Homo-oligomer: A and B are copies of this chain.
Amino acid sequence: MRPYSGERLCRRCFFRSIEDRVRTAISKYEMLRLDDKIMVAVSGGKDSVTLLHILTNIEKAFPKANVCAVTVDEGIRGYRDEALKVAAKNCRKVGVRHVVVSFKEMYGYKLDEIVAMAREEELTPCSYCGVLRRRALNVAAREADADKLATAHNLDDEAQTIMLNIIHGDAPRIARVKPALDEVHPRLIRRIKPLCEVPEREVALYAYLKKIEFQSVPCPYARTALRSDIRTMLNRIEERHPGIKFTIFKSIEKIRPALEILAEKAEIQDCKMCGEPTVGEICKPCQMLRGLSILI
């Protein structure tokens, strides 16, 4: 049962309702063109594996479109190896090409090593991982000649990010919580979030009922983040007031136009260290690696 709508659906109607919601989001937010080459970021967790299954299914109706997948191996002991296998297995199952890129080969160090080097720094493991992973995904998508990079952010993720930005004192960043990012530079592959209107528990239920294999071990670093406190709190409030995750998401849509005017369109230029497109002279990944004395 869906507490926020009162619906009770049978298995088949539930599947269709999730798939329809993804299709609706894709067309409403103009995520895809008929002939797009789509790269799905597949971590191996329930959200990304489910997205892979739904997208390859939808794509069958569009002969000119094309789906492939990428997994980033951050180098997290006891976590990523298993996930990599699961990701590869799912890609074989749906018949798409699977690319793996690793922090080790891109940056010279695994995340575990970076975290060990960063002990004294103020940044959390998730800060390093987020910045370096985003870069890795963009490079992989570009090298695969993809038009779009699909990530599996669900409704819960988006509601959490909105709250996180406000609580972090960075409300203007809310403008970036968008189902489909604008084209800002030819070498920045446009990111899309086809699951943005599906609540996390429905993604989980879909994966479970479809018997989709996924990795369920949580990341060992996840607990350190403010985000997990926000997740808990939103789930508690959602339980007592069903539908608030949707209203948070819709709420921000109303102010996004104003926020986008506020955020002057920053000029994208080439990073002076690595040449990747960035705002400012030196990109975030290079700043981080320099902070760790990996780059000088």
Task: Give me the interface of A with B, judged by CB distance under 8 Å.
Answer: 162-163, 165-172, 174, 226, 229-230, 233, 236-237, 240-241, 244, 247-248, 250-252, 254-255, 257-259, 261-262
Residue in B closest to A169 when the chains form the complex, CB atoms: B247
Chain B: minimal CB distance from A54 (Å): 27
Please determine whether B168 and A251 come into contact, CB atoms closer than 8 angstroms: yes
Please determine whether B244 and A167 come into contact, CB atoms closer than 8 angstroms: yes
- What is the bound-complex CA distance between A241 and B244, given in angstroms? 23
Residues of B within 8 A of A172 (CB): 254-255
Chain B: minimal CB distance from A81 (Å): 32
- What is the bound-complex CA distance between A226 and B247, given in angstroms? 14
Residues of B within 8 A of A247 (CB): 167-169
Residues of B within 8 A of A244 (CB): 167
21 contacts between A and B (CB under 8 A): A162-B166, A163-B166, A166-B251, A167-B247, A167-B248, A169-B247, A169-B248, A170-B254, A171-B251, A171-B252, A171-B254, A172-B255, A174-B255, A229-B237, A229-B241, A233-B233, A233-B237, A255-B259, A257-B262, A258-B258, A258-B259
Contact of A262 among B174, B248, B250, B255 (CB under 8 A): B255
The 3 closest A-B pairs by CB, nearest first: A169-B247, A258-B262, A171-B251
Residue in B closest to A247 when the chains form the complex, CB atoms: B169
Residues of B within 8 A of A251 (CB): 165-171
- What is the bound-complex CA distance between A262 and B247, given in angstroms? 19
Given A166-B252, A168-B251, A170-B254, 20 extra CB contacts under 8 A:
A163-B163, A165-B251, A166-B251, A167-B237, A167-B247, A167-B248, A168-B247, A169-B248, A171-B251, A171-B254, A172-B254, A226-B241, A229-B237, A229-B240, A229-B241, A233-B233, A255-B255, A257-B262, A258-B259, A261-B261
Chain B: minimal CB distance from A158 (Å): 12
Residues of B within 8 A of A174 (CB): 255
- What is the bound-complex CA distance between A172 and B259, given in angstroms? 11
Please determine whether A237 and B230 come into contact, CB atoms closer than 8 angstroms: yes
- What is the bound-complex CA distance between A236 and B228, given in angstroms? 13
- What is the bound-complex CA distance between A174 and B259, given in angstroms? 13
- What is the bound-complex CA distance between A4 and B41, given in angstroms? 38
- What is the bound-complex CA distance between A153 and B250, given in angstroms? 27
Residues of B within 8 A of A168 (CB): 247, 251
Residues of B within 8 A of A261 (CB): 258, 261
- What is the bound-complex CA distance between A162 and B171, given in angstroms? 11
- What is the bound-complex CA distance between A236 and B230, given in angstroms? 10
Q: A166-B248, A169-B250, A248-B167 are in contact. Are A236 and B241 (CB under 8 A)?
A: no
